[in-house]
Amino acid sequence: MSPGVAIQQVAQGLSVLAGAWAIKSFLDATEDQKPMAGGFRCATCNGSRRVPCLCTRWSDNDVGCGTCSGTGMMRCSSCGGSGTGRPIPVQIRASSIPGGGGNQRT
């Protein structure tokens, strides 16, 4: 094989890798903007459903407690482990105030 052919094959291989990298980075960027099936990604865990456990944050490089079962990752408390943001249920009760309300000035 001549040096010219070898250089050409290496250049073609590098261009294929560069193209694949560009496509993957584009897909990753657009995936971050899409809502997930059950809603939008959780802002705390970014849809991964897991966050670093407290035992890894407040210790001297120890990993393992009952909460994380020795994995160092625990269920996200913001989304409940679903990976999606969820609305907070709120009930607003309206009641009639005797005497016409409190916004009247006399």
pLDDT of amino acid 33: 52
Question: How many angstroms separate the Cα of 9 from the Cα of each of 17, 19, 21, 60?
Answer: 12, 15, 18, 51
Q: Is the pLDDT at 88 greater than 70, yes or no?
A: no
Average pLDDT taken over every residue of the chain: 75
Longest dimension (CA), the chain: 101
Please report which confidence band the pLDDT of residue 89 belongs to, taking 50, 70 and 90 as the band edges: confident
Note the pLDDT of residue 53: 84
Alpha helices in 34-70 (DSSP H): 54-57
Residue in 37, 67, 39 with CA at minimum distance from that of residue 52: 67
How many Å apart are CA 66 and CA 72, to the nearest integer? 10
For residue 85 the two structure tokens come to: 């943001």
For residue 71, is pLDDT > 80?
Answer: yes
As to burial, measured by CB atoms within 10 angstroms (0-12 exposed, 13-18 middle, 19+ buried), residue 24 is exposed
Query: pLDDT tens for residues 12-42?
Result: 888 888 888 878 777 776 555 555 555 678 8
- Asked if the model's pLDDT at residue 102 lies above 80, the reply is no
